[in-house]
Structure 1
Amino acid sequence: MKLPIVCPSCDNTLNVSQMKCPSCKTEVSGDYELPVLLKLNRDEQDFILNFLLSSGSIKEMSKQAGLSYPTMRNKMDDLITKIEQLKNNL
């Protein structure tokens, strides 16, 4: 199941309020903000994962995706901008 990160009612970022150990059933409750990378949507998270798996080579990523280097670089720049905005809102 996909982790929801955005409120379906108002589009605000969701916080974590409860976690449970599947082994011993211990529960932890509170109001915890999601880490920055979990605030990204699935496609953005996959982009970062692919970037790491291609050893940080945008050229390799563009080749694998069948996109031009400038297109892939623009996607990277857009993602960097979004991550900077998310970090500044912490």
Structure 2
Amino acid sequence: YANEEQAFRKKEEQIRSRDMQLQHQLIKFNKFLQDNEGKRRRAEMRAGEESNQIKIKEGEIDDIERELEESRRMHRELQHEVGKSSRSATVVVGG
């Protein structure tokens, strides 16, 4: 009977030891999952911020392109006016 009790206690100690190991592994795995979740949230936040910045920059590009087109249009008009003025001056001087 004593041998059976000793074997039972030994088996019980092995089970407790294994249970402690499993608990430790579970804690480590849970921390791993929490760390990964934090990294994922931070990456999503960065991606959202980058997406917003892209939209802002695209809007700025559109504004600058419109300004550039307006400047080119004004430049063409001014060149046309200068051309007309030059022809008028030539006619007045030459005439």
Q: TM-score higher than 0.5 here? A: no
Larger Rg, first or second structure (1 or 2):
2
TM-score between the two structures when normalised by the length of structure 1: 0.26
- Bigger helix share: 2
TM-score between the two structures when normalised by the length of structure 2: 0.24
Higher relative contact order (CA 8 A, sep 6+): 1
